[in-house]
């Protein structure tokens, strides 16, 4: 009966690798959501030109299209 219960991996290196992978995946998702939220906020301002949108986005990303204007 004890053989049917799966025990967690006892290899600390493997557990650490898995933990780092989970953290990385979670952070990637959070970063993507943060970026999308900022973009949505700027788009909700109903700015008329691409240049106006880029100027607003520069408050979050100063190097955005630095050579464009």
CB-CB contact of 43 with 57 (8 Å): no
Query: CA distances (Å), 64 to each of 4, 20, 57, in order?
Result: 56, 30, 7
Rg of the chain taking only CA atoms, in angstroms: 22
Half-sphere exposure of 65 (CA within 13 A, CB side): 13
pLDDT of residue 1: 44
Give the model's pLDDT for residue 62. 79
Q: In the prediction, which pLDDT does 41 show?
A: 87
One pLDDT digit (tens) per residue for the chain, 69 residues: 444 454 555 789 999 999 999 999 999 999 999 989 988 888 888 888 888 888 888 887 777 776 655
């Amino acid at each position: 009966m004890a053989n049917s219960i799966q025990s967690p991996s006892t290899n600390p290196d493997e557990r650490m690798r898995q933990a780092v992978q989970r953290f990385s995946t979670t952070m990637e998702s959070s970063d993507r959501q943060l970026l999308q939220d900022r973009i949505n906020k700027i788009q909700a301002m109903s700015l008329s030109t691409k240049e106006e949108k880029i100027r607003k986005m520069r408050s979050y990303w100063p190097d955005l299209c630095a050579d464009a204007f």
